[in-house]
Structure 1
């Protein structure tokens, strides 16, 4: 009796790496499930430290890294489930080597005849389950590596576009340069592949078009873009439909990217998920934002906005902390105070303070003075002002802290921005 017919031994066609696959999936699944949350914490902690241009780079790194982590986490979880199913099939075949006894099932003769006609032998079922688990493991790991390669290429092109924009003295927009560079990278390759697929067999090696295509493919090959650099996907495509494999690969990548973008937005705006359409919200209604109160805010998730110690201030002074926001304050200081970097720290403090004037219940506070401080829970630089509230009457009060517009904001965004943060508190 050969191995494949012996229910008490594994088939010789069993994937030789199944034990290593289980070991890697079992160990890595826990790390991969925790990695997206760790990346979220690092991203939201670093995001307020950069201006708009570098924040775009940071966000791109975050999106691609989190997408790769999601793909790996999903791969290892599904792989463990498929391997568990395979183990269950192997074990049941050992317990019941005679297979399914159709005559013992309570089904009619017509249904039984149909089932038996379509029956697959148990060894073949086991082998198919084994192959599916291995293919999933290989494709998932390869797909995650593919996302990493794409992210490196995209970040490199984005960095190059920012360098070109900086060398142009601000005359060129980085996003426009990025579109042009992406087109120069993707379009020639796509056109060359289309011409080769359609007319390549008709071209002679000595023809001009043949040599041109050969040079183009050589350039992209030296850059690392060739099928042999991804042998798993090339092998799978050659044994299946190349178009189906490519479609599935792109769908999986875009799904991971979409989930990452949506989850990041959801963490900043939790009300987006749920039936909250009729809940009153907007600038025309009074609302309290927990980010404005130190005892309520989540420094790992909330935006870097001005805050006081609590919504109910029992102390003699309200401690107003205004975090430095590079995407707002840097460009505003450069416009308001030319040669900002060459000025003294005191001059820069005066310039920055003028961007964040404060009113209390609609009345300006001319005596307010900012001190240099930092956010103790995020270690980000901030301004600190102590506001005397001892003489305030009991009840609700409001602080308005002005803010400059974000760098790169459109005229529409600026018109919709009230230009200040509202912090309500009670005595």
Structure 2
């Protein structure tokens, strides 16, 4: 039995008026949404580049994989969202045209007057297409459904994005501040909790389990817990999303809904897979993926020419990953070197060079001056530069900001006396106190061709 409306007659009339006038708002919202979605990729690329540069240059495992997955997931969702709003815009614009056409010809289509047709063909066309006004109503419903699904996808995108953000913060904040053994136990505990949750969902959704008193109580408890978690993650949007979801659930047969959901999920993950491969290739110069070669390797810096390590080859507005010199082929007997200083490197330097405590008698300005002098001394001791087989005795690194991004780092000009005509190597490494060998950051190959 269909539910009775709880609205008063005047409220029902107002709702009908809003429903009949919603099409113009749909057109406006779809147009604005498409324009906004087109602006988001640049902002997303900028945010991801900053995150990847500052926190993820050498991050391994899930912590290094999560940002790339989140980036590809959001780009895929934005593309699908744009297609949904575009489809609604086109369908609604076509609907407006049909409404205008019906206003000109109120009687609609007269199949019996169709020229160059026999009565049989006219009857068949009438059976296949039907009257114009009924098609207009059918198209209006489909426009409303597409529009509602587009906004439902917005809620889905926000939920997925927040899940990735929570996971990423968990890895970037918790992992560096706990011992390795404790971190391993935390990962095992989280995996066990997630596993129990999914098993509980599967078991408690079985019909026989739900019909038992204990199963019904546990199912109710699981439902309330899930709703609470969803409310927290969706930040107040869970209730609004539930109205759309429950409306579809209650009007679409279960088998049809399952087939439709499975189709859309399959299409989404296929699009996500393609987008993730494209993004990995675009954002990582060393990513080979399906374009690998048997005798081609990018794992050794000294054997790989990375355009990002040369100022004359790196695109404008792009971060320097580790270090950069002026060109791959130099004519001058010097190297202009810039070493990037991302946040992830700061974590290492904080451990190997504890900051001294200055006397309280010093002024704030004098403390800042002492900090700068101490920082310069430390970095010139910690950074080791090697040209071919010779270690540079005095790096003379200065604080600097490079490019349009004002990327922070250190800069120096090296005048090595051991440059050879042809191929040379510059290595940047960190001398850790108490460690026999230095930690290599990057090795940059270059060619020296002196002026004749």
- Which fold has the larger relative contact order, with Cα–Cα distance below 8 Å and residues 6 or more apart in sequence? 1
Instruction: Report if TM-score (shorter chain) is over 0.5.
Output: yes
Q: Which residue of 2 aligns with 1:411?
A: none
Per-residue deviation, residues 68-109 of structure 1 (Å, max 9, x unmatched): 433432222222111122123223333444316465355677
Q: Which residue of 2 aligns with 1:32?
A: 37
1:209 to 192, 212, 215: 215
Distance in 1 of aligned mates of 2:21 and 2:188: 46
Contact 2:319 2:407 in 1 (8 A): no
Q: Which residue of 1 aligns with 2:378?
A: 348
1:49 to 35, 38, 54: 54
Q: How does 1:283-298 map to 2 (within 5 A)?
A: 288-298=305-315
Alpha-carbon offset, residue 139 of structure 1? 0.9
Q: Which residue of 1 aligns with 2:161?
A: 151
Q: Which residue of 1 aligns with 2:148?
A: 138
Alpha-carbon offset, residue 367 of structure 1? 3.6
Q: TM-score, normalised by structure 2?
A: 0.71
Distance in 2 of aligned mates of 1:316 and 1:150: 53
Per-residue deviation, residues 158-205 of structure 1 (Å, max 9, x unmatched): 54466664564122457x8457526624752563464244125632xx
> Relative to structure 1, is the Cα distance of residues 286 and 164 closer, same or farther in structure 2, using a 3 angstrom cutoff?
closer
> Relative to structure 1, is the Cα distance of residues 18 and 80 closer, same or farther in structure 2, using a 3 angstrom cutoff?
same
Alignment gaps of 5+ in structure 1: 1-10, 405-413
2:399 to 358, 368, 373: 373
> Relative to structure 1, is the Cα distance of residues 199 and 425 closer, same or farther in structure 2, using a 3 angstrom cutoff?
farther
Distance in 2 of aligned mates of 1:278 and 1:169: 40
Secondary structure at 2:354 match in 1: helix
How many residues are matched?
393
Distance in 2 of aligned mates of 1:134 and 1:101: 29
1:308 to 325, 335, 356: 325
Q: Which residue of 1 aligns with 2:283?
A: 268
1:99 to 89, 109, 127: 109
Distance in 2 of aligned mates of 1:250 and 1:214: 27
Q: Which residue of 2 aligns with 1:4?
A: none
Per-residue deviation, residues 378-412 of structure 1 (Å, max 9, x unmatched): 3233232312279967x6443332457xxxxxxxx
Q: Which residue of 1 aligns with 2:445?
A: 422
Contact 2:325 2:337 in 1 (8 A): yes
Q: TM-score, normalised by structure 1?
A: 0.74
Contact 1:161 1:177 in 2 (8 A): no
Alpha-carbon offset, residue 32 of structure 1? 0.8
Contact 1:397 1:424 in 2 (8 A): yes
Alignment gaps of 5+ in structure 2: 1-15, 232-237, 357-373, 431-438
> Relative to structure 1, is the Cα distance of residues 178 and 247 closer, same or farther in structure 2, using a 3 angstrom cutoff?
farther
Contact 1:41 1:300 in 2 (8 A): no
Alpha-carbon offset, residue 40 of structure 1? 0.7
Q: Which residue of 2 aligns with 1:321?
A: 338
> Relative to structure 1, is the Cα distance of residues 390 and 272 closer, same or farther in structure 2, using a 3 angstrom cutoff?
closer
Distance in 2 of aligned mates of 1:46 and 1:172: 26
Secondary structure at 1:421 match in 2: strand
> Relative to structure 1, is the Cα distance of residues 104 and 280 closer, same or farther in structure 2, using a 3 angstrom cutoff?
farther
Distance in 2 of aligned mates of 1:110 and 1:270: 65
Alpha-carbon offset, residue 123 of structure 1? 1.3
Greater Cα offset, 211-220 or 159-168 = 159-168
